[in-house]
Structure 1
Amino acid sequence: MKNLKPAAAYVGTLLSASLVVATGCSPGNTTTATNTTTTEQTATATTTVAEPQPPVAKKVPKQLTQHGHTRTDNYYWLNQPEDPEVIAYLNAENAYTKQMMAHTEALQEKLYNEIVGRIKQKDESVPFKEDGYWYYTRFEEGKEYPIYARKKGTLTAPEEIMVNANERAEGLSYYAASGMNVSPNNQLLAFGEDTVSRRKYTIRFKDLKTGKLLPDHIPNTTGGAVWANDNKTVYYTMKDPALRSFKIFKHTLGTPATQDKEVYHEADETFSTFVYKTKSDKYIIVGSSSTMANEYRYLDASNPNGTFKVIQPRERGLEYSVDHFGDKFYIVTNKDGATNFKLMQTPVTKPGKANWKDVIAHREDVLLEGIEIFKDYLALQERKNGLTQIRIKKWNDPKVDYHIDFGEETYAANIGMNPDFDSKELRYEYSSLTTPNSTYDFNMQTKEKQLLKRQEVVGDFDPERYEAKRIYATADDGTKIPISLVYRKGLKLDGNNPTLLYAYGSYGNSTNAGFSSVRLSLLDRGFVYAIAHIRGGQEMGRKWYEEGKMLKKKNTFTDFIDASEYLIAQKYTNPDKLFAQGGSAGGLLMGAVVNMRPDLYKGVLAAVPFVDVVTTMLDTSIPLTTGEFDEWGNPAEKQYYDYMLSYSPYDNVEAKDYPNMLVTTGLHDSQVQYWEPAKWVAKLRDMKTDDNMLLLHTNMEAGHGGASGRFQRYKETALQYAFILNLVNQNK
């Protein structure tokens, strides 16, 4: 791009101030030497600082034509991260945000200290046992990153540090470790490292006896490596330029990665591939997955030179997942119209669907989310009426069939880490809006539960000060939309409570009503925190998801609006104190609702928002495209193009008033490219008719998940909270 505008030109627009010069006259002085009189004018300068002016992105019209319809994108040029002018614009936006929020810096610091102050600095996960070792993660005081460690035999044995992420992260602006996987003989560790925040990991190997890294390293992977039983062969997943997981390779320790053998190539761009080992350690499984179909291959883990065999060839509409027990594969599937999924089994020797037989039948009111297999017991994670249930069955005794009782109205629960195949104890995680994250061991034989750890909230936290409940809004089509709420006890329903309403509503991801010590900074300042369990998630079963995607995607947006109106009607809040929050696909939600009903919200927090839906879904070279066609539709087909165009936030910005908005993104985002929120903000600036705040903050060193490290991520949270607290005049 020619004629680049330098960074200083953008920043300069932020620092301008008007200089008012007052000019006056003073009495003349008589100078006898020259016998002349002069009148000296004196000038007194006073400076008043003007309101900071936002950056104005230049317009470079680009015509985008599809199906005979042409859109003009004035800010398409912002999708060039190597262009100095783009970086200058993002920096200018950051400078503007900093100036506009300067008066809240003390509040931001206070919020950050509050949030971090509730976190136990020196902490440790609950250890789990596998192959004679206890594995755990711990944090040291003041350190940003975890230490991955283990102990042999007993928890009193000497500690073996596998990876100290603090040391690995030294000198780096971003660091993430992933995929810790120990070899079957317990002597070698494979792990992945990302130092850019694009979710492209380099796999490294460590000799756990000597503590030395091996020379082997494999770049451009998903981070995980799966060991064959020979302790020298690993399988891993490679990413393509669009960050799709597209190939499985086999690596032999001691050989260069360039010699690795490709064992599977997923050529269909709407699918991604992955590899794992069954809990029984018997099989290596290669899976391929799209929104609407799955396919799996298996190989004896003791025969890494063998050939993978297909379990069931892919069929559009047939979804299934695979685990192993005894001489059978266990299949969670939607076969035969099982919308909410069922559990089936099939002989390993005859794995095709013709041989699948029901173990747990399909139920219209219960979604089967997953299973955990033990030698004597089967644990099922199910969802009914929006809440997770854990069900226990005994293989050889059909009378043993019961659910674990959690005892709260709204909560979050899930099956945890259970690597021990022979155990009679189930590890599960539990929390609620008022109960901190808790880890339990549940004896499936005696039904006794043991609380192993409850997240410590440092300070004077008392769960009895807070109240949680679930209410239901009614959508225009009569659908009941669950809303989970938490607030300080004593709340008055006078319509005057500041309220933050959060939702996601895509990909069938269910938003559970779990605990967060972070949000206490809002609750203790009188806020109501609400979660709208809208369609597009899977809280109320698979149909809930189907009703909120593709050509029914607008249900997601109208459900959120209906939930907002219900909170107002029930006098929890009012439009001048209601705030909305969502990130990624939830950021799309934010963009859609502010176009549809901007009058409902005082302010909006949109994090890494997917807002340029049509343009992104037409560009198969970038992430979040080919694998998403069954989520959003393929705009190469006119009916999907027209439907997407009708709600795409960027395409539907209008000349009207919008709420106050804080938009956040990361320069290296691998899921939603930074230019989507940047373009959206630029267009909003040009078209909106209000004087409300519109701020863009780009983390120039991070990606989709924000800053790495344990504490730094909360700097952005403090900014977000200060933004909304300022809007309700709570600046302390």
Structure 2
Amino acid sequence: MKLLFTTILGLVTLCSCSQEPEPLFEYPLFQNYTEIVKEHNMVYENDFLNLESTSNSETKNWLIKQDSIVKKYYDINGLERFNTHLEEIGNINSPDYYWLKNSSKEYFYWGDNDSTQVLYMGSKSSNIVKPIFSATYDKTIHFYAPNIEGTKFILFVSDENGDYLRVKDIPTGETLFETDKDMNTQQVSYAVWANEDQIIYTGWPNHENSKDSYLAIANITTGKTKTIFSGNKIAEYNNEHFLRPNIRYGSDVLQAVIVNGGEQYNGYNTSLQNIESNPKWKQVMHEKDSVIYYPTERNGIMYFLRYKNGEKTLVKTTVEDISHPGKDIVLFKAENQAVITDYAVTESKIYVITSKYGIDHRLYAIDKNNNAELLNLNYPISGLRFYHTDASLSSIVLLQSSWRENYVFVNVDDSLNIRINNKVTRNTPEEFKNIENDIVEVKSHDGTMVPMTIIKPKNFNTNSSNKAIIMAYGAYGISVEPFYNAAILDFVRNGNVFAVAHVRGGPEKGLKWYTSAIKENKKNSWKDLLSCSQYLKDSGYVNTDKLGVYFASAGGVTAAMAINENPDMFKAAVGEAPMLNPLRLGYQANYNASDNDYDFGTKSTLEGFKSLLKLDPIINLKKNRNYPNTLIISGGQDELVPIYDGAKYIAFLQSQKIKTNNAYLLDVVKDEGHNLSPLETTRKALFFFNNEL
């Protein structure tokens, strides 16, 4: 007994004499200027008000220190080695060739060739492919559109000198038309071919005020342009709207669509015949008409999706009767819990894509007698969308996506011949062939069954080393569509799990699924995420202390509020350009908050303000809590989410404990906007998860 006591005493003495290990991080001290804000006779604390201005020296210095901290983290832990490892696997990108479009006899796509971006043209009837245009990487290509004959193409491009719209002649390479007047590629880059000689495009003279935007027609033969529709002459047009022209090649029916932050627009029509003299515009579509986006015209008939009894329904009617739902001819309704995701019109067919739970897609073709036929693709298909369609063409291009395999481009013609375009489709590396995905339904807090996709190795075995990452979005009625990513698949093939919770706020089960998680009901999104996360733990898919949460953009509200409610659920979190402070967006003059009004609320109304207070992640952060290791990656030029969202969030986490082993990192990619580079950003995210889980 004495010997045992002596041994223990010796151990105690040894431990007491040894020094405590230094914490891994020592974050910079930063003054928190807290503002007490009063709205609608209610008050809230706006922490780190000083970070809302990135121009002051204090904020600039703090951001420089954050750059240094995150760079040191990447260097010490081996981000470069991780990237090299992924490159050795091969085929890590989306396809080398991209942006596939059709003309009547040719197809077009872009490819990267050393220091240039190259536009290629291929013949549909032979294997002949040739380059027709190239641009160095100091120029950014925003948009292109070949004409139906495949003899010319429209190009929106920007460089250090500004933004340009050009029309190029393919046989000669000559520039047929060019303008830099009122171009604004950061906001909208869109033009349509009206016919062989005329294009219609959007002009945007004031970058800060879209109310001055307009539609113009350009004759590429004479070089003459004319404004034909002005936003500032429309009463319901405001600074959150923008204009989009819509016309079928060779048609006389021209549409001016007023695009807003939702999916139901106002629209005006006129005749192209009178466009250069005195066009008379007539409003034929109102937001209240429940038309989704805008119609496609063919031979004087308008085809579009309309909500009927809360379900997306494909209908057709005349131009005059768009505002009269009772006169619709119903062409297609989805069945068996599926929903319509999109439709396309060609010369003689209508195509419809349906989705069940956002993860089981089908393609149908509707003939002139309104008969629908399920096309014989290789089902089940996780993801399917129209990649290029035109009502003047007799074929469509589809993009088929999967969590486990690389992207596949599929051509379908109106004779229903199906062909994979092998030129732009890439193979999946052998290393990823031993991966599968399951679909489960999880009971949420209120008994609602929530679909979840689980990507895992075949013959998956649970053990204490299993890691898992769960992703969720849950906003704007947008689903997380399957996508191919080598960094994620590499994580999975090493015995781990990647899951996607199809939470409420998306479109997976129809309109009600979306609207049941907006404003005051937004909590359903993050509670669905928490329920799915707990399911992964309870079912043995992950060690209880090795679950990470991955989110982006408006998914930041879903994920960060889930963290606020239960920070112990997750060991690590990564956000890409995440929205974390939606309440404050309404105070910023240079940011458009209209997209958020319907989903989250607006500070201008009492109801909207109360909603924002409850769902704003930064407003609802709590002091003296142990938040998970967190990496926020933001774009320094983000036009949708201010850089201070991520900065304020990380500043709060760092302020709780200046010296700590918890990683609270902010990575600002200075020259990028809201759409961060998917390759580089996902690599950083998976590197962080691998390191912290």
* Farther-moved stretch of structure 1 (621-630 vs 320-329): 621-630
| 1:379–1:322 CA distance, 2 compared to 1 (3 A) | same
Contact 2:284–2:320 (Cα < 8 Å) also in 1: no
Contact 2:164–2:178 (Cα < 8 Å) also in 1: no
What is the CA distance between 1:90 and its match in structure 2? 1.3
Q: Does 1:342 align with 2:310?
A: no
Q: Does 1:181 align with 2:149?
A: no
Match of 1:628 in 2: 596
Match of 1:520 in 2: 489
What is the CA distance between 1:604 and its match in structure 2? 0.3
Residue 294 of structure 1 is aligned with which of 250, 253, 265?
265
What is the CA distance between 1:486 and its match in structure 2? 1.3
- Structure 1 counterpart of 2:403, one-letter code: L
Residue 363 of structure 2 is aligned with which of 386, 390, 395?
390
What is the CA distance between 1:287 and its match in structure 2? 1.1
| 1:343–1:73 CA distance, 2 compared to 1 (3 A) | same
Contact 1:536–1:548 (Cα < 8 Å) also in 2: yes
What is the CA distance between 1:260 and its match in structure 2? 4.9
Residue 179 of structure 2 is aligned with which of 210, 216, 227?
216
Match of 2:339 in 1: 367
- Structure 1 counterpart of 2:247, one-letter code: K
Task: Report the Cα distance in structure 1 between the residues aligned to 2:684 and 2:285, rounded to whole angstroms.
Answer: 50
Residue 411 of structure 1 is aligned with which of 379, 382, 388?
382
Match of 2:430 in 1: 460
Task: Report the Cα distance in structure 1 between the residues aligned to 2:127 and 2:92, rounded to whole angstroms.
Answer: 22
The higher radius of gyration belongs to 1
Contact 2:148–2:393 (Cα < 8 Å) also in 1: no
| Residue-by-residue CA offset, 1:669-709 (whole Å, 9 max, x unaligned) | 011111111111112222369742101111112111224xx
What is the CA distance between 1:269 and its match in structure 2? 4.3
Residue 191 of structure 2 is aligned with which of 225, 230, 247?
225
| Residue-by-residue CA offset, 1:172-192 (whole Å, 9 max, x unaligned) | xxx531221245676654322
Contact 2:517–2:524 (Cα < 8 Å) also in 1: yes
| 1:498–1:237 CA distance, 2 compared to 1 (3 A) | farther
Match of 1:190 in 2: 154
| Residue-by-residue CA offset, 1:620-672 (whole Å, 9 max, x unaligned) | 62334124311212222122212221221110111211011111101100111
Contact 1:203–1:224 (Cα < 8 Å) also in 2: no
| 1:664–1:362 CA distance, 2 compared to 1 (3 A) | same
What is the CA distance between 1:63 and its match in structure 2? 3.4
Q: Does 1:648 align with 2:616?
A: yes
Q: Does 1:264 align with 2:224?
A: no
- Two-structure CA RMSD over aligned residues (Å): 3.3
Residue 349 of structure 2 is aligned with which of 368, 374, 377?
377
After superposition, where does 1:77-476 map in structure 2 within 5 Å?
Answer: 77-105=50-78, 107-115=79-87, 118-119=90-91, 123-125=96-98, 128-140=101-113, 142-143=114-115, 146-151=117-122, 155=126, 159-162=130-133, 164-165=134-135, 167=136, 169-170=137-138, 176-182=140-146, 188-194=152-158, 202-208=164-170, 209-212=172-175, 216-218=179-181, 219-221=183-185, 222-229=188-195, 231-238=197-204, 241-242=207-208, 247-252=213-218, 260=227, 262-265=229-232, 267-269=237-239, 271-278=241-248, 281-290=251-260, 291=262, 293-305=264-276, 306-315=279-288, 319=292, 321-334=294-307, 337-348=308-319, 351-353=322-324, 356-360=327-331, 362=333, 365-386=337-358, 387-396=360-369, 398=371, 401-408=373-380, 411-419=382-390, 421=392, 423=394, 426-442=396-412, 445=415, 449-453=418-422, 455-457=425-427, 459-463=429-433, 465-476=434-445
- Structure 2 counterpart of 1:70, one-letter code: V
| 1:553–1:321 CA distance, 2 compared to 1 (3 A) | same
Task: Report the Cα distance in structure 2 between the residues aligned to 1:509 and 1:160, rounded to whole angstroms.
Answer: 36
Instruction: Structure 1: give runs of 5+ residues left out of the alignment.
Output: 1-47, 708-712
Contact 2:193–2:199 (Cα < 8 Å) also in 1: yes
| Residue-by-residue CA offset, 1:382-402 (whole Å, 9 max, x unaligned) | 22343322112221373x533
What is the CA distance between 1:272 and its match in structure 2? 3.9
Match of 1:555 in 2: 524
- Structure 2 counterpart of 1:178, one-letter code: H
Q: Does 1:720 align with 2:685?
A: yes
| 1:52–1:458 CA distance, 2 compared to 1 (3 A) | same
Contact 1:52–1:99 (Cα < 8 Å) also in 2: no
Contact 1:230–1:302 (Cα < 8 Å) also in 2: no
| 1:432–1:646 CA distance, 2 compared to 1 (3 A) | same
* Farther-moved stretch of structure 1 (494-503 vs 268-277): 268-277
Contact 1:52–1:100 (Cα < 8 Å) also in 2: no
Task: Report the Cα distance in structure 2 between the residues aligned to 1:54 and 1:420, rounded to whole angstroms.
Answer: 58
Q: Does 1:540 align with 2:506?
A: no
Contact 1:619–1:625 (Cα < 8 Å) also in 2: no
Contact 1:582–1:605 (Cα < 8 Å) also in 2: yes
| Residue-by-residue CA offset, 1:530-579 (whole Å, 9 max, x unaligned) | 11111111112121111121221111110001100011111101331101
Secondary structure of the 1:545 match is: helix
Q: Does 1:603 align with 2:572?
A: yes
| 1:272–1:632 CA distance, 2 compared to 1 (3 A) | farther
| 1:461–1:158 CA distance, 2 compared to 1 (3 A) | closer
Task: Report the Cα distance in structure 2 between the residues aligned to 1:572 and 1:245, rounded to whole angstroms.
Answer: 52
- Structure 2 counterpart of 1:564, one-letter code: S
| Residue-by-residue CA offset, 1:588-622 (whole Å, 9 max, x unaligned) | 22221111111011100011111111111x32623
Contact 1:216–1:253 (Cα < 8 Å) also in 2: no
- Structure 2 counterpart of 1:611, one-letter code: L
Task: Report the Cα distance in structure 1 between the residues aligned to 2:103 and 2:149, rounded to whole angstroms.
Answer: 12
- Structure 2 counterpart of 1:626, one-letter code: S
- Structure 2 counterpart of 1:176, one-letter code: T
Match of 1:7 in 2: none
What is the CA distance between 1:61 and its match in structure 2? 3.3
Secondary structure of the 2:528 match is: helix
Task: Report the Cα distance in structure 1 between the residues aligned to 2:649 and 2:560, rounded to whole angstroms.
Answer: 9
Contact 1:321–1:333 (Cα < 8 Å) also in 2: no
- Return the TM-score normalized by structure 1: 0.81
Task: Report the Cα distance in structure 1 between the residues aligned to 2:494 and 2:211, rounded to whole angstroms.
Answer: 44
What is the CA distance between 1:496 and its match in structure 2? 4.2
After superposition, where does 1:62-73 map in structure 2 within 5 Å?
Answer: 62-73=35-46
| 1:435–1:120 CA distance, 2 compared to 1 (3 A) | closer
Contact 2:103–2:146 (Cα < 8 Å) also in 1: no
Secondary structure of the 1:70 match is: strand
Match of 2:16 in 1: none
Contact 1:496–1:571 (Cα < 8 Å) also in 2: no
Task: Report the Cα distance in structure 2 between the residues aligned to 1:393 and 1:183, rounded to whole angstroms.
Answer: 26
Contact 1:108–1:718 (Cα < 8 Å) also in 2: no
Match of 1:39 in 2: none
- Return the TM-score normalized by structure 2: 0.85
Match of 2:6 in 1: none
**Aligned residue pair count:** 655
| 1:404–1:457 CA distance, 2 compared to 1 (3 A) | closer
Secondary structure of the 2:652 match is: helix
